[in-house]
């Protein structure tokens, strides 16, 4: 029997739509999140140690993401009652890296049929036919996929990096810039490459103290941390 091939959504495309039952009630995705950034992420299975460490970390950081107008939505191919029992166990029994009594309040999708996981290309047969890998989709307020990150089953995610991605995307949109390697709020940003000889010449001859051109194609400028955070974080 020929295996069904499901294409993965790509950066710049609309996030695939779906309705699902979650630990916080039914959701209609992504329309319920219009106007907010969203991190949609999958985990392999409930009651597994790496996933438990990730959910505790995400739940602890949720207020920080919310401040950046970013909502969290989790998914695994387990059922709703398994989700509920697992999240209760996390709150009542698990302590990790000083985190305890952690309550997960963001929705966790029930995806027993794997319909959503298939739509988002979260199933990787080379890893598992029955478990979703650790996929991360960062979706903007218009429902457009802006970042996709995949991790194997054995590797827990770096949550500082996920938060950095959200801030960097918002900064790029707000200030019409790009962000260089290892960028953090307060670091210099990249000015878009000059589109003409005239603009390139102007930049190289500019006396603007906030902009520095190493060559016509590589110019940076300063945007202080307070300015960045004031624009992109809720007050």
Q: What is the residue whose two structure tokens read 């219009």?
A: 34
Let me know if 51 is a catalytic residue: yes
pLDDT, position 205: 66
- What's residue 56's pLDDT? 97
Q: Binning pLDDT at 50, 70 and 90, where does residue 10 land?
A: very high
Question: Is 184 labelled as part of a ligand binding site?
Answer: no
Residues in the chain, overall count: 235
The overall average pLDDT reported for the chain is 90
pLDDT at 1: 42
Q: Which of 51, 70, 213, 219 is catalytic?
A: 51
Residue 46: pLDDT above 60? Answer: yes
Q: What is the pLDDT averaged over residues 117-132?
A: 78
Cβ atoms < 10 Å from Cβ of 140: 19
Alpha helices in the chain (DSSP H): 49-67, 80-93, 115-119, 159-175, 197-205, 225-232
Rounded CA separation 48/8 (Å) = 26
Percentage of the chain lying above the pLDDT 90 cut: 72
CATH topology assigned to domain 18-157? Glutaredoxin (3.40.30)
- Which pLDDT does position 123 carry in this prediction? 78
Segment 185-206 mean pLDDT? 77
Q: Tell me what pLDDT residue 129 has.
A: 67
Mean pLDDT in residue range 217-221: 89
* pLDDT average, residue stretch 14-30: 97
Looking at residue 235, its pLDDT comes to 46
DSSP codes joined into one string, 78-145 = S-HHHHHHHHHHHHHH-EETTEES----S-EEE-TT-HHHHHTT-B-TTT-SSSB-EEEEEE-TTSBE
Highest-scoring range by mean pLDDT, 5-14, 133-142, 185-194: 133-142
Q: What is the pLDDT of residues 70-100, one digit of tens each?
A: 999 999 989 999 999 999 999 999 999 999 9
Q: Which residue has the higher pLDDT, 150 or 196?
A: 150
pLDDT band at 198 (very low <50, low <70, confident <90, very high): low
b/e code 12-31 from CB counts within 10 Å (16+ = b): eeebbebebbbbeeebebbe
Per-domain boundaries in the chain: 18-157, 176-232
Does the pLDDT value for residue 2 go beyond 60? Answer: no
> What is 176-232's CATH number, 3.30.930.10, 3.30.1020.10, 3.40.50.2300, 3.40.50.10710?
3.30.1020.10
The better pLDDT of the pair 126, 98 is held by: 98
Q: What is the pTM of this model?
A: 0.91
């Amino acid at each position: 029997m020929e295996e069904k091939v499901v294409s993965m959504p790509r950066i710049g495309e609309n996030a695939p739509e779906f309705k699902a039952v979650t630990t916080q009630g039914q959701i209609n995705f992504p329309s319920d999140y219009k106007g907010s950034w969203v991190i949609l992420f999958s985990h392999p299975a409930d009651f597994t140690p790496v996933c438990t460490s990730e959910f505790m970390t995400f739940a602890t950081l949720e207020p920080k993401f919310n401040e950046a107008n970013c909502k969290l939505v989790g998914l695994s191919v387990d059922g709703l009652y398994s989700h509920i029992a697992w999240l209760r166990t996390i709150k009542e029994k698990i302590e990790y890296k000083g985190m305890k009594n952690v309550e997960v309040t963001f929705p966790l999708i029930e995806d027993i049929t794997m319909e959503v996981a298939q739509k988002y290309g979260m199933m990787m047969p080379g890893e598992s036919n029955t478990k979703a890998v650790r996929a991360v989709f960062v979706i903007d307020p218009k429902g457009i996929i802006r970042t996709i990150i995949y991790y194997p089953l054995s590797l827990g995610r770096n949550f500082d990096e996920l938060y950095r991605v959200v801030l960097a995307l918002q900064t790029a949109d707000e200030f019409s810039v790009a962000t260089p390697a290892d960028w953090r709020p307060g670091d210099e940003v990249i000015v878009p490459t000059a589109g003409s000889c005239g603009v390139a010449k102007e930049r190289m001859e500019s006396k603007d103290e906030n902009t520095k051109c190493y060559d016509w194609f590589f110019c940076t400028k300063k945007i202080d941390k307070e300015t960045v955070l004031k624009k992109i974080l809720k007050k």
